[in-house]
Amino acid sequence: MRRVVDRLSSERCPTFSVEFFPPRNEAEEAILWKSIRELESLDPAYMSITYGAGGSSRDGTIHNIARVATDTTLVPMAHLTAVNHSVAELRNVIGHFAAVGVHNILALRGDPPGDPMGEWVAHPEGLNYAEELVRLIRELGDFCVGVSAFPYGHPRSPDLETDTRYLLRKLDAGADFAIAQLFFEAEDFLRLRDRVATGSDALMLPGIMPLTTPRTWRKTIELSGATPPRWLSDRLEPLTDDPKAFRAEGLNVITELCERLLAEGVPELHFYTFNRSKATRELVDRLGLRSSRAEPVLAAQH
């Protein structure tokens, strides 16, 4: 089964997936593939590779997602954005994904290069909205299509009601599921899931960042677009000068978040890996998400 929704409907539940970004050089590519191989052994439901702003990492995405499709047992999902691409270019990229055996695409409008909050300027022969990209992908083949969702609302949306309406339009355009951007508390995701459930039965999946360093903490705040709750800052901020203690408490925080989500019936957790495997492997084991097909844990790993 090579489609994300098929994996999630037929696999053991709950399960997990992993996300990587394209490497910039040979050294980073070696790190990426070491992590891919280590996480492959845990049998995630699928894995994805991101797509740089303006197509800046397009070649890296295509090269590595094609290698995943042909050289691993993983189910690959490619990210694709409309930034700086004509419809003809998008058709070419989508066709290449199909040719190498990639049947899952995460369709994103994307942010303006250099300034995510800058003015959006569409390619003169391109697209303006993610829902248009969803339709284009659907027209070109039997793809499983995902989109992004924002628990606190997209920064450009005036309110949550408007943001939910735009998300439902992406789902109505043919998306099978949505992956939520980062959030701090389980309730933030669950409220998003409830808002969407009034107009769609598409799968809603939470994006999870393992908190292992102050850098990943700052990145979570940046990508969420929201202010963290006081209780969470109080747990993490005092530890920013103690790497070992910060990592331990950060993983405890994420474990608690995931346990709450799983208790609320979330079928899958989507882990942002930063192209490393250790923290994700630890969380998968803590949460009991290894499948029966995963390689056994070796005693030396404990």
- CA nearest 59: which of 104, 101, 93? 93
- CA nearest 206: which of 254, 159, 276, 242? 254
SS3 string, 190-244, reads HHHHHHHHCCCCCEEEEEECCCCCHHHHHHHHHHHCCCCCHHHHHHHHHHCCCHH
Active-site pick, 19, 40, 131, 132: 19
For the chain, what percentages of helix, strand and coil (3-state, to nearest 5) are there?
45, 15, 40
* CA 13 – CA 100 distance, rounded (Å): 28
User: Helix, strand or coil for residue 174?
Assistant: coil
Containing H/E element for 166?
helix 160-172
Residue 210: cis peptide before it, omega within 30 degrees of 0: no
* CA 260 – CA 20 distance, rounded (Å): 25
* CA 266 – CA 153 distance, rounded (Å): 20
- Concatenate the DSSP letters of all residues of 84-119 into one string: T--HHHHHHHHHHHHHTT--EEEEE--PPTT-TTS-
Let me know if 19 is a catalytic residue.
yes
Containing H/E element for 18?
strand 15-20
- Concatenate the DSSP letters of all residues of 278-298 into one string: HHHHHHHHHHT---TTSPPPP
Question: From the CB of residue 247, how many other CB atoms can be counted at a distance below 10 Å?
Answer: 19
Active site members: 19
